[in-house]
Amino acid sequence: SNENNNVRGALIVLEGLDRSGKTSQCSRMHSYLVEQGIPVELWRFPDRNTCVGQMISSYLANKSQLDDQTVHLLFSANRWEKRSLMESKLKSGTTLIVDRYSYSGVAFSSAKGLDIEWCKAPEKGLLAPDLVLYLDISPEEAAERGGYGGERYERLEFQRKVSQQYRILRDETWKIIDACLPLEDVEKRLRELALDCITDCRNGKSLSPLL
């Protein structure tokens, strides 16, 4: 076996309010990395393709009712059911670009009033991201982008609370990017940060669990 077998992919997470541009930026970053010949996959949470994901999807569409604790644990279970696949992909050298992760789970549920430590507990032991890219936008500016659909959380008042919770979760491993810059400027900044992170992982940065 050659040394390359030990090279792992990076776990790169994009977070931010609804309309902050995560989905656009994730797909641009994915295409860019593919062009660079870097093994990469685009993931997103919730992953609506699983049975758990379908329950979440129907809840978000207001087609079913669940209490706050239950839906919190479903979002978390939706990450747990992908954990081992995530680990094997990373270990086999594939970089994962992930649209929302545990921080969304904690920010949205604690914005409803659930205790933040309670919200964090089921996330412990999932894989810790190597890089969290936070697309920073005020709830008001995000709302101005329009296209708030009919989903449950797409209301300004609630997005304000989510924004406050994200602020509490920030730590020194997050990179905060001004999401109001032109799309191409945001894209360029994200690329640089992602490439640095991929290099660090190739150079032996180890995978660790979320604490």
User: At closest approach, how far in Å is the CB of 25 from ligand Z5A?
Assistant: 7
Rounded CA separation 204/185 (Å):
30
Q: CA dist 202 to 42, 81, 85, 95, 128, Å? A: 19, 26, 19, 10, 16
Residue window 47-86: x/- pattern of binding to ligand Z5A, with contact defined by CB under 6 A? -------------x--------------x-----------
Stretch that binds ligand Z5A, among 62-70, 145-153, 163-171, 196-204 (CB under 6 A): 145-153
Q: Which residues are 16's β-sheet partners?
A: 135
Q: Is 145 near ligand Z5A (CB under 6 A)?
A: yes
Total interface residues for ligand Z5A by CB under 6 A: 25
Q: Is 120 near ligand Z5A (CB under 6 A)?
A: no
Residue 205 DSSP symbol:
P
- State the residue for tokens 């994009």: 14
Q: Is 189 near ligand Z5A (CB under 6 A)?
A: no
Strands 131-136, 11-16: pairing is parallel
Smaller CB distance to ligand Z5A: residue 106 or 201?
106
Pseudo-torsion of CA 184, 29, 137, 115, nearest 10°? 180
Which of residues 9, 46, 129, 139 is near ligand Z5A by CB under 6 A?
Answer: 46
Q: Is 8 near ligand Z5A (CB under 6 A)?
A: no
Which of residues 2, 51, 117, 147 is near ligand Z5A by CB under 6 A?
Answer: 147
- Amino acid 52 reads V
4-13 as b/e: b if 16+ CB within 10 A? eeebbbbbbb
Q: Is 9 near ligand Z5A (CB under 6 A)?
A: no
Q: Is 204 near ligand Z5A (CB under 6 A)?
A: no
Q: CA dist 137 to 25, 84, 133, 190, Å? A: 14, 33, 13, 15
- Positions that interact with ligand Z5A (CB under 6 A): 16, 18-24, 45-46, 60, 75, 99-100, 104-105, 108, 145, 147, 153-154, 179, 182-183, 186
